[in-house]
Chains A and B, each alone.
Chain A
Amino acid sequence: MTETTDRPARGRAWSKPAQLVLGLAGAALIGVTGLFLAAVFLHVAPANSLSRQYRDEIDGVVYPEFEQNWKLFAPNPLQQNVSVDAQVRTVAPGGATTAREWTGLTARDIAAIRGNPAPSHVDQNLLRRAWDFYDGSHNPQDETPVGSRGKLAEQYLKRIALQRIGREADGERVLEIRFRVTTATVPAPSWSGETAPPAPKVRELPWWPVADEDYRGLLG
């Protein structure tokens, strides 16, 4: 690390043991490098006969630290604006409940991004990707979780909203929360001659109960 290193090998006559060590190490390094690159290549390539054959080995190398996702704008760029809104129901000390106004969580993100040369991950990624996570782990018909991660996604989404809305509204404690997600397709450019996209689709999630422990660590 400290010295320049062009010299030693050049012109140096290695002893037999040194040759052996260097030879073996060189062969091992080249082998490992080749196998690693092959695994990464097969991971990003479309599923194929070779990658199916060695799926466990490839996954073992690539996950969890060498995962790659370079398909952000491929095969097609994202063409939808997804807006997440949340609504809470609060309970008065007497027991009467009130459904509060919808809060535009995505709208707040967008407001923070506008005119900002370096948007924060808090505004640009947190809610956006949490919704992707929820969407990917739930059945859109009846909102039932698919797989073991669905419940984690629900908890994550709920806590993001609760952090932004707070524990109370007008002095009343938050009792329940629900989400409304509007997906609007970006209309094609005027010169494309395509018909206007369908009206935005609205997806409503059921009411979820809110407990004190949902707020753990959220508010300072």
Chain B
Amino acid sequence: MNEVSLPAARPDGDGPLDGVEPAAGVEPSGGAVPPPRVPRQAGAGPDAAAPRGPGATELLGRAVDAFTGRVLGRHQAAVVRIGFGLVWLAHLLREWPNRRVLYGDRSPWSMELAERLLGDDGAFTVLTWFGGRFWFELVYHLAVLAALGVLLGWRTRASTVLFLVTVLSLQNRDVFLGDGGDNVVHLMAVYLVFTRCAEVWSLDARRARSGRGGRAGAVLWAVLGAVLAVCQFGGFSGTNLSWTGRTFPHLGWAPLFWGLWAVAGLWWVLGRLRPDGEPRAVLDALATMVHNCAMLVIAVEVVLIYATAGWYKVQGSRWQDGTALYYPLHLDYFTPWPGLSALVGSALLPVFLISYGTVMVQVAFPFTLLNRRVKNVLLAVMMLEHAGIAVVLGLPVFSLAMIAADAVFLPTGALLRLAAWASRLAARASRIRTGRIRRRPAP
């Protein structure tokens, strides 16, 4: 194993935190440069260790090393995974009583209407493969399990693929149902598949640390392969699992699913036969490269969301005259608490400041990424604003999704502190539970 060269745990820590990987990988002995554009790996030691003025060739070499060999933003990836797993799980559970009307056999957007639209745009959904209630219920509850798997990081690559399939299937069943939150979940469900988002704070990471392999992976792989084969060749999946697409870029979904399945199998076989061999190392480097590209896509996506929102607002007369905030507070569909909304929109100055502040923050955000401290302040402001939107406008799912997406830019140090705090809290909770039997824990 390659891990022997690194300390297994932080010597100065509180002991191994559950699910928190020591920051070993963050502090490469070679003093690598911070990765470009992706959140900086804080929690690292003093940067003074880095040699001054490396040549261009060396910089390029380091960039290549980082790109091929380092899982950039692993904590951020984990937080995004946990966030979106949680958001979609919460949505599915909240809508559980309404599921048949929203996505199922009782939907006003009848299967017939859906099929006519899908025939037009070719969006992916498995729900049209069979009519009736049983298939729908199966998919919906599979979606719940997939969200749970993503949240916990259980067999994460498989869970994220299932997450992708179920999110797209439900949302594309009726595309006139979603709002911005659904849109973000939809995009992230695709991007997450390509990340190594379970390196920390996941059941997978815990299992890897304990060294127990477990048979579940191989069984899951075989089962998923069989299911995929049945769907592919069963003659009921229509054009959903085609190899090519009608329009540019002419790619269907089959190459992705089969490709992931084949790579997972190859990965396992090589791990068994030649765990230290070069082919496995090449696969590992490829997976890391894909992850790094996916993280870049997620980061740019978040920037684009804010940038477009901001740049288009600049052109709006209501944002210019400083009253924009007032209007959503008086829309019937977005005022679950009319008294609160009226209060927030009651005076000139706060309405003006929040309206102008929102535009400024959104327009400025992409550029603040160049400065760590300013970026963090703006990030906190935006998260708070979304928390406010969750309550005042009655859009908790949308707001949570945006906060989860924002998390890709959170500094690693803050994430580690949060994790340490959460783990202390959990430890205390379990002590309180067992405390009735043993009042004083052994030192």
Contact = CB atoms under 8 A, between A and B. Distances in A.
Interface of A: 1-10, 12, 14-15, 18, 21-22, 25-26, 29-30, 32-33, 36-37, 40-41, 44-45, 56-57, 59-61, 63-79, 81, 83, 106, 109-110, 113-122, 124-126, 128-130, 132-133, 148-149, 152, 155-156, 159-160, 162-163, 186, 188-189, 191-192, 216-220
Given A10-B28, A78-B331, A120 B180 contact: no
Given A79-B327, A121-B102, 11 more contacts: A6-B24, A9-B281, A14-B278, A26-B289, A36-B297, A60-B248, A113-B332, A118-B397, A128-B333, A186-B330, A189-B351
Contact of A60 (B65, B190, B249, B319): B249
B331 A152 contact: no
B282 A22 contact: yes
Contacts of A29: 289-290, 293
Given A2-B208, A5-B199, A56-B247, A218 B289 contact: no
Given A56-B247, A65-B124, A216-B110, A74 B290 contact: no
A124 B333 contact: yes
Interface string B101-143: 1100111111101001100111110000000000000000000
B412 interface: no
A197 B394 CA distance: 26
A7 B5 contact: yes
Highest count of chain B CB atoms <10 Å: which of A26, A132, A189: A189
Contacts of B300: 37, 40
Contact of A21 (B28, B282, B313, B328): B282
Contacts of B397: 118
Interface in B394-443: 394, 396-397
A156 B204 contact: no
B243 interface: no
A71 B296 CA distance: 23
Contacts of A156: 108-109, 113, 176
B79 to A, nearest CB: 17
Contacts of A118: 94, 394, 396-397
A44 B313 CA distance: 13
Contacts of A9: 65, 68-70, 281, 285, 288
A160 B12 CA distance: 62
B304 A44 contact: yes
B63 to A, nearest CB: 11
A122 B288 CA distance: 41
Given A71-B309, A124-B333, A7 B187 contact: no
Interface of B: 1-3, 5-6, 21, 24-25, 28, 30, 64-65, 67-71, 94-95, 98, 100-102, 105-111, 113, 116-117, 120-124, 155-157, 168, 172, 176-180, 183, 186-187, 190, 196, 198-199, 204, 207-208, 217, 245, 247-249, 267, 278, 281-282, 284-290, 293, 296-297, 300-301, 304-305, 308-309, 312-313, 315-319, 321, 323-328, 330-333, 335-338, 345, 348, 351, 391, 394, 396-397
Contacts of A189: 323, 326, 345, 348, 351
B324 A73 contact: yes
A84 B341 CA distance: 23
A177 to B, nearest CB: 13
A148 B178 CA distance: 22
Contacts of B208: 2-4
A25 B187 CA distance: 24
Contact of A110 (B122, B290, B332): B332
B177 A33 contact: no
B94 A77 contact: no
Q: By CB atoms of chain B within 10 A, which of A1, A41, A77 has the most?
A: A1
B304 A68 contact: yes
Given A68-B187, A156-B108, A113 B286 contact: no
Contact of B110 (A2, A10, A79, A217): A217
A5 B287 contact: yes
A115 B340 CA distance: 11
B284 A75 contact: no
Given A5-B71, A9-B285, A67-B183, A148 B120 contact: yes
Contacts of B106: 163, 217-220
A186 B108 contact: no
28 contacts: A1-B155, A2-B208, A2-B217, A3-B1, A12-B281, A18-B281, A22-B285, A37-B296, A40-B301, A56-B247, A60-B245, A65-B190, A70-B304, A73-B324, A74-B315, A75-B316, A76-B317, A106-B332, A110-B332, A114-B335, A117-B396, A118-B397, A152-B116, A186-B326, A186-B330, A189-B323, A216-B110, A217-B106
A22 B169 CA distance: 34
